[in-house]
Structure 1
Amino acid sequence: MDFSAYQQLRFERRANGVLLITLDRPEKYNAADEVMHGELARVWTDVSQDPETRVAVVTGAGKAFSAGGDLAMVQRMAGDHARVSHMLEEMSALVYTMVDCTKPIVSAINGVAVGAGTVVALLADIAICAEDARIGDGHVKLGVAAGDHAALIWPLLAGMAKARYYLLTGEMISGAEAERIGMVAKALPREQVLPEAIRVAETLGTGAQQAIRFTKRTLNNWLRAQGPIFEQSAAYEMLGFLGPDVLEGAAALEEKRSPEFPSAK
């Protein structure tokens, strides 16, 4: 498999069939614009089909895992039916290609992970997080429903009470707290996150491949069973991009102030 066509994802082959994938837009804290979001939506199919890869590790370049959706992309989407419709399809592709990827995925959450970054971080089969990282789903603070992946997996990972709290408030969670409530498998000092993710990946890469892959496939039926919930959340999120609140939410983020949503007046 030739990964050279990717622009914002960097690939490095490691021993024992491990493919290290780095979100590589550090000057923007690896925020996903249209290019990166599209690449994240198709890379897992390529990983699944790559005969040299037995397990993938995904991390972020620089200080962040991913700062979510690029604000300029959000502003381009607002009120644009064609862009919103395309994003709805791409969002579904990102989620389902991760769920359906035949190879195990390990995330090394080295820093902040929000929005699209949280999708990749938490839909990975094994998530290893820096204790001081910050994880969150801030859709409601932007003025749209919590779509992407959140309604799909947060209740399964942390339980409904915690999912309701964090998704309705948009508050962030530290890596240490994320481990405590079951959002991630491990929380470690930041400098240990990637080495531990590689160690885990090499364990998977040298294990019984069919057994590991079939176990992943079976466990992910929990996610497939929630497909209608995910589809509804994604549609509601995209509907929000056609309303007035998202314009105020994006402006508030850009101006670093609290939003004054039209729907709350």
Structure 2
Amino acid sequence: MTDGFDLTRDGEVARLTLTRPEKMNAITYGMWSAIPDVVAEVEADPGLKVLVIAGAGKHFSAGADISEFGELRTTAEGAASYDKAVEGAVAALTAMRKPSVAMIQGNCIGGGCQVSVACDFRFAAEGSRFGITPAKLGIVYHFDSTRQLVSLVGPAHAKYFLLSGELITADRAREIGLLNDVFPAPDLETSTLEFVSTLCSRSQASIRGMNRIIEKIVAGQETSDAEVEEIRSAALHGVDYAEGVAAFLERRPPRFTHR
């Protein structure tokens, strides 16, 4: 595993922890570059259903490790290479069929917020802070990440984030749609994992199929296509559909087996 990461498994749940608490879990070039491999590992493991991303210590992540910029982003070529690594990480998280959940405490800023927005769900502790700060660095934000942010919070709030670089509270982040929920800090992990357990109990065929369709809609697709129809047809003829209907008629919880 790349320095700065710790990938662990607890039953059906994988947890990727950012492990640079002395740097507020700032994300290095090596960490950005490794995220697609982490995602591929989780996706390929039939025993895993959900990926949780968290930060060690008091913070989720303060963003990209700017101390590297003097070496890695001083030329157009270097900046392009760095941006390619970031874009690859975002693309990998976005394209996951298995759900991803960001469990956030403390600062979730810049690249850290970018990672959380690329996840399917975001839960935060009270007292967390959020911001995206390219305007403080003279950087223009990545297109796909901008699109994801706009889809979550709308253009007005996205402009506030990106053009001002100001930070907002967790409560405000929930109000504008950036967060799914906010919990007292001592309850964050328990409450988040309760939701993760719910995801694990649902039909994985449904979850992964709908996750792909939502990804297409967020990317701008307006009508169905052959892939969407194949996803829906495969679900209709799958074991989870038969079990779900039987469980409903028998008034019992479903026992889904699709992995």
TM-score by length of 2: 0.80
The 8 Å contact of residues 2 and 30 in structure 2, kept in 1 or not, is answered as no
Residue equivalent to 1:64 = 59
Q: How many residues align?
A: 221
1:29-108 superposed matches below 5 A: 29-108=24-103
> What secondary structure, in the 3-state scheme, does the structure 1 residue paired with 2:14 have?
strand
Q: Establish whether residue 124 from structure 1 lines up as the match of residue 119 from structure 2.
A: yes
Residue equivalent to 2:255 = none
Residue equivalent to 2:3 = 7
Instruction: Give the whole-Å Cα distance in 2 for the aligned partners of 1:86 and 1:178.
Output: 31
Question: Which structure is higher in RCO with an 8 Å CA cutoff and minimum separation 6?
Answer: 1
Structure 1 residues without counterparts, runs of 5 or longer = 227-265
Instruction: Give the whole-Å Cα distance in 2 for the aligned partners of 1:78 and 1:209.
Output: 41
Cα deviation digits, residues 178-226 of structure 1 (max 9, x gap): 0011111001112222222211111111211101111111111133339
Residue equivalent to 1:210 = 205
Residue equivalent to 2:146 = 151
The 8 Å contact of residues 35 and 92 in structure 2, kept in 1 or not, is answered as no
> What secondary structure, in the 3-state scheme, does the structure 2 residue paired with 1:220 have?
helix
Instruction: Give the whole-Å Cα distance in 1 for the aligned partners of 2:181 and 2:153.
Output: 14
Instruction: Give the whole-Å Cα distance in 2 for the aligned partners of 1:71 and 1:30.
Output: 12
Instruction: Give the whole-Å Cα distance in 2 for the aligned partners of 1:146 and 1:91.
Output: 11
Instruction: Give the whole-Å Cα distance in 2 for the aligned partners of 1:78 and 1:179.
Output: 34
2:165 maps to which of 157, 162, 170:
170
Please tell me the residue identity of whatever aligns with 1:136: G
Instruction: Give the whole-Å Cα distance in 1 for the aligned partners of 2:36 and 2:47.
Output: 20
Residue equivalent to 1:142 = 137
- When structure 1 is superposed on structure 2, of 108-117 and 144-153 the one drifting more is 144-153
Please tell me the residue identity of whatever aligns with 2:211: K
Cα deviation digits, residues 46-67 of structure 1 (max 9, x gap): 2211222111111000011011
Structure 2 residues without counterparts, runs of 5 or longer = 222-259
Q: Establish whether residue 109 from structure 1 lines up as the match of residue 99 from structure 2.
A: no
Q: Establish whether residue 186 from structure 1 lines up as the match of residue 186 from structure 2.
A: no
> What secondary structure, in the 3-state scheme, does the structure 1 residue paired with 2:195 have?
helix
The 8 Å contact of residues 90 and 145 in structure 2, kept in 1 or not, is answered as no
The 8 Å contact of residues 118 and 145 in structure 2, kept in 1 or not, is answered as no
* Structure whose alpha-carbon radius of gyration is higher: 2
TM-score by length of 1: 0.78
> What secondary structure, in the 3-state scheme, does the structure 2 residue paired with 1:31 have?
coil
Provide the identity percentage.
29
Residue equivalent to 2:16 = 21
Q: How big is the alpha-carbon RMSD for the aligned residues of Structure 1 and Structure 2?
A: 1.7
